[in-house]
């Protein structure tokens, strides 16, 4: 919220004092020859203004309807304008001095200004209209054309006064804030309703005098009360439909509708996917009631940590989405760390007694449109980033990055065709959408193979061939049905024969790609063995290029250290023992030790699949 500094606050008060002074002056000059019955009108108007001041009907989340406008204009169309001047002067002066002793300073247009603006706008709109059309009596003023003129001039003057006040309060920014408010449909609707109601009041007064005003006021009281209750009820159900009841944050529906609109308008935003670390352990230690209480605290913490413009939603039991629009991914990453640190240092219920259950969060960051042109692609990228840290450690922030995209960037920096780049991008998307395990297995193989190629100090072209070949080595699985690829039970003989054929299927598929001839042996022979007992052709290791022997080694190692439904993963030392046991039979003996050094340096790339995400 914009704060008012002392200088602007003083200007605003001077501005309001001038309004009060003008009203006083008008009141002084018009009250000299006032008849007694006119005082009755003034008292009635002051009473109605005081009563209706309590009846601010909320028309929208940021705008209210003031019935005072209706009474000022309605009385001015029938009675002498000096009655409006005196009543407005009394109300503005009273509220001005009341605000001087009020500790809660208004950050927008305060009540005193409203009264002064209502009265002055009404007075000048009546005077200008009478001069324009040379109006001599009330009947002429109440004609449809003249009343519309009064209302139009009133709106123009009132808008200008409000705009000037916004500029005094908020400086240059106030001009644009004022313009935005004044031409908002809600504002125009409020002003239109107020003007038409004022005209109806004037006709009632002209026909029935103050007795008609009493009936009119009673009707207003009833309508105001009914509308306020209706508005509260409508807002209540609207909040329920878009709010998570436990945390008070937005819910899954709201955030996805917001994302859909943002993508449709092609406007950039950052997605922060937040997951509570080891929340099941917290629930087991303290019970689900304490777990719900912790989620409630987390919602409040996120709300107080958020900056203006940041949207936060709870999208599943322990997953949250934070949307940060219109900033770079670097700034979004910094904000993610702020949220991460805020949770780390917050004392959640019962963690004082059991510090081992202290809550932390991990956050994956992705940006639209950098990581995808569709909503689900960006959310999936944030989920991938989160996955990579959740399986290895906790209480961290990770930005989405893909080895496949690194290859694309590398190709873009070389003398290769746009056709190859497009082909690689299509393969990336297809592989990720069909088989997430194979895609991540491929990413790990690229990292292992590239690290070993650097360790062996191979030339740059061969290193590039190994990186691209490692990415393409399993593309033959794109030709195998998903139900076979994702099967959790042991494969049948027919299914196993089909799986064993994926090197040939991949080779045939790669023949249609551009400029990957050097990678074809990696795709076709990565399941061959050094002793010639592998498949599909049973070639001896000495007959295979070095790039193939590297791929065979890293591919087998990742399979050993990856959990599958039918096989438990091995530890680093267990996998090293298997490499040593197969040295010279399955693997090139000269590559085993350098690769073990690489793994010790970079560690085992984690492979456990996290729980299913509810973000998409």
Instruction: Write down the pLDDT at residue 543.
Output: 84
> pTM score, two decimals?
0.52
User: What is the assigned CATH class of domain 404-602?
Assistant: mainly alpha
Token digits for 303? Answer: 């709300």
Residue 76 Cα distances to 43, 46, 86, 357, 595, angstroms: 14, 13, 12, 70, 92
For 515, which DSSP code? S
Is-same-fold flag (252-401; 404-602)? Answer: no
Which regions in the chain score pLDDT beneath 70? 1-37, 54-66, 98-112, 236, 350-357, 391-393, 402-416, 432-433, 436, 564-567, 606-616
Residues 53, 115: Cα–Cα separation, whole Å:
10
Task: Single out the residue of 584, 607, 613 nearest to residue 447, CA to CA.
Answer: 607
For residue 279, the Cα-to-chain-centroid distance in whole angstroms is 24
Instruction: Write down the pLDDT at residue 348.
Output: 84
Instruction: Write down the pLDDT at residue 98.
Output: 67
Instruction: Write down the pLDDT at residue 10.
Output: 61
Residues 126, 120: Cα–Cα separation, whole Å:
10
Domain locations along the chain:
6-242, 252-401, 404-602
Token digits for 609? Answer: 């699949």
Instruction: Write down the pLDDT at residue 353.
Output: 58
User: What is the assigned CATH class of domain 252-401?
Assistant: alpha beta
- For tokens 């089909």, what's the residue? 498
Q: What is the pLDDT of residues 451-505, one digit of tens each?
A: 999 999 999 889 888 988 998 899 998 888 888 877 777 888 888 889 999 999 9
């Amino acid at each position: 919220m914009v704060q008012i500094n002392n200088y602007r606050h003083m200007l605003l008060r001077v501005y309001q004092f001038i309004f009060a002074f003008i009203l006083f002056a008008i009141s002084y000059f018009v009250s000299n020859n006032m008849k007694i019955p006119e005082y009755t009108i003034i008292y009635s108007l002051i009473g109605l203004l005081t009563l209706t001041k309590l009846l601010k009907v909320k028309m929208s989340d940021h705008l209210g309807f003031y019935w005072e406008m209706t009474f000022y204009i309605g009385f001015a169309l029938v009675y002498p304008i000096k009655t409006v001047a005196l009543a407005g002067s009394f109300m503005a002066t009273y509220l001005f001095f009341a605000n001087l002793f009020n500790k809660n300073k208004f950050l927008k247009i305060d009540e005193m200004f409203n009264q002064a603006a209502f009265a002055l706008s009404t007075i000048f709109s009546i005077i200008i209209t009478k001069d324009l059309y040379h109006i001599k009596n009330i009947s002429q003023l109440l004609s449809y054309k003249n009343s519309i003129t009064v209302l139009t001039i009133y709106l123009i003057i009132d808008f200008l006064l409000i705009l000037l006040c916004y500029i005094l309060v908020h400086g240059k920014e106030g001009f644009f804030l004022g313009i935005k408010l004044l031409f908002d449909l809600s504002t125009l609707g409020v002003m239109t309703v107020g003007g038409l109601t004022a005209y109806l009041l004037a006709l009632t007064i002209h026909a029935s005098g103050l007795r008609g005003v009493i009936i009119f006021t009673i009707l207003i009281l009833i309508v105001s009360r009914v509308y306020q209750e209706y508005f509260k009820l409508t807002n209540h159900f609207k909040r329920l439909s878009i709010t998570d009841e436990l945390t008070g944050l937005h819910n899954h529906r709201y955030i996805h509708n917001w994302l859909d609109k943002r993508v449709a308008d092609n406007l950039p935003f950052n997605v922060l996917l937040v997951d509570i670390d080891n929340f099941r352990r917290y629930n087991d230690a303290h019970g689900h009631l304490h777990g719900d209480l912790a989620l409630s605290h987390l919602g409040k913490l996120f709300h107080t940590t958020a900056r203006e413009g940041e949207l936060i939603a709870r999208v599943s039991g322990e997953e949250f989405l934070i949307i940060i629009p219109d900033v770079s991914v670097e700034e979004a990453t910094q904000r993610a760390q702020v949220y991460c640190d805020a949770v780390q240092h917050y004392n959640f219920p019962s963690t004082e007694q059991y510090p081992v259950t202290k809550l932390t969060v991990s956050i994956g960051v992705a940006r639209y449109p950098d990581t995808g042109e569709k909503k689900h692609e960006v959310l999936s990228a944030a989920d991938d980033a989160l996955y990579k840290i959740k399986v290895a450690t906790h209480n961290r922030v990770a930005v989405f990055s893909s080895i496949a995209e690194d290859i694309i960037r590398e190709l873009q920096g070389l003398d290769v065709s746009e056709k190859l780049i497009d082909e690689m991008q299509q393969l990336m998307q297809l592989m990720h959408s069909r088989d997430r395990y194979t895609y991540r297995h491929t990413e790990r193989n690229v990292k292992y193979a590239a690290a070993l190629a650097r360790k062996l100090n191979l030339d740059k072209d061969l290193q590039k061939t190994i990186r691209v070949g490692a990415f393409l080595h399993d593309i033959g699985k794109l030709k195998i049905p998903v139900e076979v690829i994702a099967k959790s039970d042991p494969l049948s003989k027919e299914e196993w024969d089909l799986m064993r054929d994926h090197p040939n299927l991949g080779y045939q598929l790669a023949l249609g790609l551009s400029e990957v001839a050097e990678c074809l042996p990696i795709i076709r022979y990565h399941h061959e063995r050094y002793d010639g007992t592998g498949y599909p052709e049973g070639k001896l290791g000495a007959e295979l290029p070095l790039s193939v022997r590297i791929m065979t080694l890293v591919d087998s190692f990742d399979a050993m250290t990856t959990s599958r439904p039918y096989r438990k993963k091995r530890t680093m030392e267990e996998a090293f023992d298997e490499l040593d046991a197969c040295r010279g039979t399955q693997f090139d003996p000269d590559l085993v030790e350098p690769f073990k050094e690489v793994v010790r340096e970079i560690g085992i790339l984690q492979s456990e699949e996290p729980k299913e995400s509810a973000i998409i």
